[in-house]
Structure 1
Amino acid sequence: MARMTVKEGARLLNEMNDRSREVFRRVVEAYLATGDPVGSRTLTRAMSEKISAATIRNVMQDLEYLGLLDSPHVSAGRIPTQQGLRMFVDALLEVRDLNDTDRQQIDATFGSNESDIGHLMGRVGAALSGATQVASLVLAPKHEAALRHVEFVQLGPDRALVVLVFADGHVENRIFHPPPGQTPSSMREAANFVTALAEGRTVSELRRAMAREITTRRREIDDLARQLVESGMAVWADAGEPTERLIVRGRSNLLEQGAGSEDLERIRELFDDLERKRDIAEFLELTDEGEGVRIFIGSENKLFSLSGSSLVVSPYMNADRKIVGAVGVIGPTRLNYGRIVPIVDYTAQLLGRMISDRS
């Protein structure tokens, strides 16, 4: 289904009379609050004018004809369609001010003296998930500080650890599979070779320098050490980086949102997508249109194959006003958008400020 544009939604809303607009708004608000279909008798008690249930049913039928409402079961009330939710979010959503409790919960995370950016991002994700009661996604910025030292550590016959120490004190540990036959001697030689090249260079610059040096100094480098360095380069390849940069917290919150077997199946599919980190490179691209929170509803959310979820996401920027990461939440389409949007926006602003201060 093609996404309804803001302009199309506004035009359709303007063509509706006051009664139809109110019925539509109250159906969506009630659905977002409860997750249940909304019946005509329920609306008779909520409407600003006294009208019969039969009149409301006629209005709901008209809204269903327009593609804004749907009836999941016969005589079971109505729920908004994806198009209906999009029109509501674009034209009728009332975004609340951030309340003090949510503000304090997010502020407490940034008030810590955590030096490791990965751990801090994890804490931010946990706070965001706790405040919104759905799953959070935090895309950490690439670490482009200069390197100071590199170390290889054998963990087993087929597992090794590469330790990257940056000039700003940041430390990253990454596990990879080294070529067979490595010895303590080849490990030391590989580490010395890489460290000699690394000092003063970023990871991206080091990868390019290593490729040149291995080619020109092939005879000087022990064969095992050369294989170790070459296999270790895959750890720093851009293709592998997004999976390490994406931090997911609060999956258990999604299980609490799923009532029926259909909901649980959708959540299972979402878990699978999150585990595979599908198309995570696109997560940042979703925010490339500038500042501000963006909402993707149902099938608009191309990041994940699941159509029954919504993604609320905002970029954050460094001191140079360059987008370096993104933060958001993912959950069922019946999210409390009015409350979640300011939470995501505030978290993104604080992340940007923190990144700018650290740089």
Structure 2
Amino acid sequence: MKRKQIIISIFISILIFSSCREIKVNTVVNKDGSFTRMIVITGDSSEVIKTGLPYPVDETWKRELLRDTTDHENHVLTYTKYFENSDLLNQEISQDTGWKKNLNRNILVEEKFGFFYSYPIYTETIKAANPFTILDYKEYLGKEDMLWITGKKLALNSSDSAKIEDAEKKADAFIEEAFTSELIAGLKKAIEQLNNPAVNPELVEIYRDSIVSKIDDYDYDSTLEFVDFLAEWSNNDEILKLKEIKPDTFEKLDNTIKLIINVLSMEPYKVFVEMPGIITETNSLSTKGNQVQWNVAATSILFEDYNMIVESRIINKWMFVIAGIVLLSLIIMIIFKSRK
């Protein structure tokens, strides 16, 4: 597995990633807080049935496969399910068995009462997937860089495209430096656990450049192989005893790599939410009538929490009726008292 290719090349290509299928997640919110959730996959017959959807589906979802009426070479596979509340959907999401179970995702459908009006609110949050804890991405990426990376700001001209490319390079640098720092810290921790006077944890820093070179150019299947590299570079076979105790440090490092690869390889998808009433507030860049849209890609969730929020307003007709009855009663009382 070539780390240079995986960690760097995938990140660059993900921004121009062209999927063989299109995935849409549609949610139609009702006035009572219930909603219908649909996952729509469009592509050729072999692509639409593939797994790896944004959210888990099971036999409780209605499944319908039809030919695309706009492109007869494609098919449209739709999964549909009705939910009485968002807690039930979150419960399903928590049971995801794929790699996305490592993502912290939450959906909340709630309502604020405003007497004559009610305000349904849809909030979907995907917590940042960034597995690195030593380096801070903010030291590499500024606020404007993050707007380009996450797609919150769209390129309108060649100058904007150049800014996106510059932000990509900064993100690449962070990922490479962050992984290197995590690996070096992991090797030091493992040596400390070994508790062998013949092996000094600071030995790792001496060979930092060699470690970086291996990360860039060498093929390896597990970070545990860096034990062999370190033993060879330092001509100290005592380091090989790390393999005997097999500290969980290397397993955690391997899991970090797997997560970052899975995130960067994630298929982009679109989220559509249709609200009852008139939309009053949203952070979506695309609004049409009472429907909003967000584009979710790997870079959307890698560094920062990705929040999708929309609020609408509906009329509480029954409150107008009650207010009318109360007002009429007051008028009658005033008239009745004035005649006494």
TM range (shorter): under 0.3
Q: How high is the TM-score relative to the length of structure 2?
A: 0.26
Q: Which has the larger radius of gyration?
A: 2
Q: Which has the higher contact order (CA 8 A, sep 6+)?
A: 2
Q: Higher strand share goes to which structure?
A: 2
Q: How high is the TM-score relative to the length of structure 1?
A: 0.25
